[in-house]
Structure 1
């Protein structure tokens, strides 16, 4: 079972928590994207990133000085969003860290896909950013089926499962290419409102990170184990789940 998650917009440099175990597998593609972004003016880059002047200046300077092979941080320790804070890899046991190396994959507009200990630098480039590069109109076309094929190759030709804990923005880069060899299962975290499941962004991000921690600590490699998750007051709901969608409902207080 492979677990896919989204990246976070905020990133840090941390060379102390864990060693880098290698460069990202799509290094050449990332260098192409870096070179393309470096061609942009400040105003063009800001429009691409859709952010404030302050953030645009920070990231414009990051790309100007970027070295993809130096001062690297393991990916899972670099991202700082809600999901990663609730995952808490900094307190993982050795066994849990080995689990995420085998099972966890981080999707990225800039790096394509990352193992948790692949070395990265801070960047800003969301998957839905309208960057044209290499004759491709956007990043979805640029990455194509490369990411899915890379995950499939890890299975050695055997049937496999992808547990989707990523947002739609990122998961679609894989889901559209899924073939019969793969069971693609999405996890939703929501609350019951008038008999319908409503998902709120912040609690869902928190639960996604916490679920990764739970799976790693329990060394879970099948969907039956996934269904046992009960963090943050969520419980698996058979009634609202489907074959390829596991729904967790927040218990009422």
Structure 2
């Protein structure tokens, strides 16, 4: 079983007490992406990033001196969004960290796909960014089926805790026998399922922690997710989607 999650825009390069254990699988392709980014003018980069002048300046300067193999930190410790805060990987037990490295994969527009302890540097690049690389019109085309192949669906189901922006890099290549199980954290409002992004990001992080610390390797065990507000809903779930409903 594999679990896919999204990266975040906010990153840190503090190495802390954790060290990289492996290199990203597609480092050569990342070098090609970096080469294209380094061709951009400041104005072009800022437009690509859709961010403030302060953030654009910081990331543009970082881009000019970026070395993909120096001062790296584990991917799982480098992202700082809500999902990672609620996952709290720095508090995991040793078996929990081992589970992360074996089962969790982070999808990335810059690195393609990452194991949690692959060594990375801070970057800013969303998968949906309109960046042309190696004559491909955008990053989805550039990465093609590489990320799908890396997940190896023959080895069992893939649990989708990623946003649609990132899971879209996988779904076009799915075969009939492949199991991509989406997990949805929703609220029932006027008899319709609604997902509140902030709460869902928190719950995704908490679910990764639950799966890791309990060494979960089956879909049935995922349904036992222990959360004070989200409970598995058999009524709204299907064979392809596990729905957890929010309760006060």
Q: TM-score, normalised by structure 1?
A: 0.96
Match of 1:213 in 2: 209
CA-to-aligned-CA distance 1:109-160 (integer Å, 9 cap, x gap): 00000000000000000000000110100000000100010111xx6xx451
Question: Is it true that 1:151 corresponds to 2:147 in the alignment?
Answer: no
Partner SS for 2:63: helix
Query: Partner of 2:126: helix, strand, or coil?
Result: coil
Once the two structures are superposed, residues 196-232 of structure 1 have per-residue CA deviations (whole angstroms, 9 ceiling, x without a partner) of 1100000000000000000001000010010011314
In structure 2, the partner of 1:63 is 63
Q: How much has 1:182 moved relative to structure 2?
A: 2.1
Q: Secondary structure, in 3 states, of the residue corresponding to 1:105? A: strand
The equivalent residue for 2:186 is 190
- What is the 5 A alignment of 1:155-170? 158-170=154-166
Relative to structure 1, the CA distance from residue 232 to residue 59 in structure 2 (aligned partners, 3 Å threshold; closer, same or farther) is: farther
What secondary structure, in the 3-state scheme, does the structure 2 residue paired with 1:44 have? helix
1:64-79 aligned at under 5 Å gives the runs 64-79=64-79
For 2:221 and 2:134, how far apart are their aligned partners in 1?
42
Q: In the aligned structure 1, how far is the partner of 2:94 from the partner of 2:124?
A: 30
Secondary structure of 1:230's aligned partner: coil
Residue 111 of structure 1: aligned partner: 111
Q: CA RMSD in A?
A: 1.0
Instruction: Compute the displacement of 1:16 (Å).
Output: 2.4
- TM-score, normalised by the number of residues in structure 2: 0.98
Cα distance in 1, alignment partners of residues 125 and 221 from structure 2? 34
Aligned position for 1:24: 24
Unaligned runs of 5+ in 1: none
- TM-superposed deviation, 1:107: 0.4
> Would you say 1:6 and 2:2 are equivalent positions?
no
